[in-house]
Amino acid sequence: MNDIYNNMHKISSEIKACILSEALPYIRKFHGKTIVIKYGGNAMTDSNLQRSVANDLVLLKLVGLKPVLVHGGGPQIDNALLKIGKKGSFIEGMRVTDSETMEVVEWVLGGQVQQDIVMMINEFGGKAVGLTGKDGTLIQARKKLIPSKEDVSKFLDLGFVGEVDKIDTSVVKALQNDQFIPVISPIGYGEDGTAYNINADLVAGKLAETLKAEKLIMMTNTSGVLDKNGKLLRNLTEIEIERLFNDGTISGGMMPKISSALEATKNGVNSVHIVDGRVHHCLLLELLTDQGVGTMIS
């Protein structure tokens, strides 16, 4: 990141002014609009990328956008599980979560990871507030069962893995209107108070739908959605996505991400962007410049 800043000093003032002026129509277009961002991957584990994201969020808030951050924390959960002698297992990109694992998930996501993000945003001059599904009844959840690939009449029990039953955005809107940046951990709660681990991509998608967000941005460890030859697909439609599902091009951890993206575009979100979270200031590049850094689904 220091190399980026060093190179910036070499750019003339005129070029810097042109770069800033390019952002003006996007600032005007998205002013007052909600942008939901799913934060995960390398951007959560590389300190320079962490600071880049925090900086971008504060800048977006200051120029009038309303960012809402939903974070993951897979690597952090895996590290915490290893310390107690457990190894994470996954089915179709979703973590199998027994009661002991759920305790770790709550501690890591709702505590360590969330507070690190909040403090970093605050250090850059923003005002962030951390939330879980329990706050303001934000995320009401139910147990998730997935069909078995071997026998579609049977369902696989993933333990304390949930899906979104209902989202109440009143606490999020109250924070947005009071100039705060909400930072949300993907933990939902059932009617009986049972905590559920929910895929962060699914939470981000449902939250974007409920908030009628202008955009949903999902950060990944790839340059976007790739075809079987590794070529970046810059724009995708519903029909094209179905084909990529059917031929196995989209699989593994990308499946819940793209499913959420597709569902969001069907339910009021103008566009979804799968962006490369390994690129410094990818949020600014995607939102405030002519050339994005990933795949757009609309």
- Asked which of 85-94, 124-133, 174-183, 268-277 is least confident by mean pLDDT, the reply is 85-94
Q: State which amino acid sits at residue 100.
A: E
Average pLDDT over residues 247-257: 79
Residue 156 DSSP class = E
In a domain, 13, yes or no: no
pLDDT value of residue 12: 66
Average pLDDT over residues 262-268: 89
What tens digit of pLDDT does each residue of 189-245 get? 999 999 999 999 999 999 999 999 999 999 988 888 888 888 888 888 888 888 888
Confidence of residue 149 (pLDDT cuts 50, 70, 90): confident
pTM: 0.89
Q: How far apart are CA 298 and CA 294, in angstroms?
A: 13
What tens digit of pLDDT does each residue of 103-115 get? 999 999 999 999 9
Average pLDDT over residues 123-128: 96
Owning domain of residue 77: 33-211+221-297
In a domain, 167, yes or no: yes
pLDDT value of residue 5: 45
In a domain, 19, yes or no: no
What tens digit of pLDDT does each residue of 165-204 get? 999 999 999 999 889 999 999 999 999 999 999 999 999 9
Question: Is 142 part of any known ligand binding site?
Answer: no
Tokens in use for 134? 């329990």
Which residues, including other chains, have CB under 8 Å from residue 206's CB and lie 6 or more apart? 164, 167, 260
Burial class (CB in 10 A: 0-12, 13-18, 19+), 151: exposed
In a domain, 15, yes or no: no
Share of residues in the chain with pLDDT > 90 (%): 54
In a domain, 6, yes or no: no
Helices (H), 185-236: 200-211
Average pLDDT, the chain: 88
C-alpha triplet 287, 290, 295: angle, nearest 5°: 65
In a domain, 113, yes or no: yes
> Closest by alpha carbon to 296, among 269, 279, 270, 274?
274
- Asked which of 6-10, 41-45, 117-121 is least confident by mean pLDDT, the reply is 6-10
- Asked which of 17-21, 98-102, 132-136 is least confident by mean pLDDT, the reply is 17-21
Confidence of residue 59 (pLDDT cuts 50, 70, 90): very high
Residue with more model confidence, 18 or 105? 105
Q: Say yes or no to pLDDT of 36 above 80.
A: yes
Question: Is 197 part of any known ligand binding site?
Answer: yes
Q: What CATH number should be reported for the domain holding residue 85?
A: 3.40.1160.10
In a domain, 197, yes or no: yes
Question: Is 28 part of any known ligand binding site?
Answer: no
Question: Is 234 part of any known ligand binding site?
Answer: no
pLDDT value of residue 22: 84
Domain count, the chain: 1
Q: Say yes or no to pLDDT of 18 above 80.
A: no
In a domain, 8, yes or no: no
> Residue 278: how many CB atoms within 10 A of its CB?
17
pLDDT value of residue 3: 46
Tokens in use for 197? 């681990």
